[in-house]
Amino acid sequence: MRKLIAVLILFCAVAGLSFYGTVPKAKPGTFRAAQLEYKRVKNAYAAQWDSIVPRLKRMNVRMEELEVFIRGFKDEKELEVWVKNKTEGNWKLYTTYPICASSGELGPKRCQGDNQVPEGFYHVSVFNPNSNFLLSLGVSYPNASDKVFACKRDAGGAIMIHGNCVTIGCIPITDEKIQELYVLCVEARNAGQKTIPIHLFPIRFTDAGIVRIKAAEDELAVRTFWDNIRAGYDWFETKRTLPIVSVDAKGKYLFR
pLDDT tens across 195-246, in order? Answer: 999 999 999 999 999 999 999 999 999 999 999 999 999 999 999 999 999 9
Which residues are known to be catalytic? 162, 170
In terms of DSSP H, where are the helices of the chain? Answer: 2-20, 31-35, 39-58, 144-149, 175-190, 207-215, 220-239
Average pLDDT over residues 17-45: 90
- Could you give the CA distance from residue 151 to residue 157 in angstroms, rounded to a whole number? 13
**In the predicted structure, residue 13 carries a pLDDT above the cut 70:** no
Give the three-class secondary structure for 51: helix
Contact 227, 217 (CB under 8 A): no
**pTM across the whole model:** 0.91
* pLDDT tens digits for range 67-111: 999 999 999 999 999 999 999 999 999 999 999 998 999 999 999
- CATH among 2.40.440.10, 2.60.40.10, 3.40.50.12140, 3.40.430.10 for 21-241: 2.40.440.10
DSSP designation for 173:
-
